[in-house]
Amino acid sequence: MLPGIKLFDLTNRAAVITGGSKGLGLAMAEAFASAGANVMLVSRHGHEASSAAQAVARDYGHKAVGFEADVTNPSHVEAMAAAAVEQFGAVDILVNSAGINIRGSIDALSLEQFQQVMEINVTGTWLCCRAMIPHLKKSGRGRIINLASALGLVGLSNRTPYCSSKGAIVQMTRALALELAAENVTANALCPGPFLTEINAPIANTDEGRKFIVGATALGRWARMEEIQGAALFLASDASSYTTGSMLTVDGGWTAR
């Protein structure tokens, strides 16, 4: 039996984090590196991924590489998987953090906007899972961590694309958990509440942000970026070996109401 903190040790493990160059993706990459993991940070913007990876490697002393890929492009995703195996020899953890949010009432949004959110948030996650699962199976302790949202569990007006996409991630995660259990690969989702990410910056100081976002939480504040790290580390490590198909809310009590 592993005592205490060793349950969270990721030494000699490798993680691929999409959307890893900033925001929650970068915060999770830093958490994994601090626990001993090697990490690949994936972004559509290669220079951002490389710069973030250099900083992680410098700060935590473990291998960190950047990789440019569009998660909606199957050939990019396959290249990402191949590059991760080439860099690390094996991959143990996949975090699907790439995502967008387009706000607006349903009559003000275009079909193209709805499809864009679904393509990145849902199709991109599915493609990355499909590409990485063969390698996670070989690991013998594979972990899939999908980024859903509190808005995959509850609704909010003017968010039909985003709520729909994150609800889909919830169900995708449950299906994968059942499909992969026999291979010792777990699939779980984090459901963050109001973190002050780049996606949420436009509403940070609006009445909507104060009343319907922060005001909906029990703790009454925006989350700090590092507050995703403990939950992510739990799901990535041996501490969660009997946890699969779970939706772990990190939402300041939003969904408790």
Residue 242 bears catalytic tag: no
Task: Give 44-94 as a 3 state SS string.
Answer: CCHHHHHHHHHHHHHHHCCCEEEEECCCCCHHHHHHHHHHHHHHHCCCCEE
Q: How far apart are CA 151 and CA 251, in angstroms?
A: 10
Give kind and range of the element (H or E) at residue 207: helix 207-208
| CA diameter of the chain | 56
β-pairing verdict for 186-192 and 143-147: parallel
CB contact burial 2-37 (16+ within 10 A = b; e otherwise): eeeeeebbbeebbbbbbbbbbbbbbbbbbbbbbbeb
**Residue in 162, 222, 234, 254 annotated catalytic:** 162
Neighbouring-strand partners of residue 41: 17, 66
146 Cβ contact partners less than 8 Å away, ≥ 6 residues apart: 95, 96, 125, 129, 169, 172, 173, 187, 188, 189, 190
Cβ–Cβ under 8 Å, residues 145 and 188: yes
Half-sphere exposure of 229 (CA within 13 A, CB side): 14
Q: Catalytic site residues?
A: 162
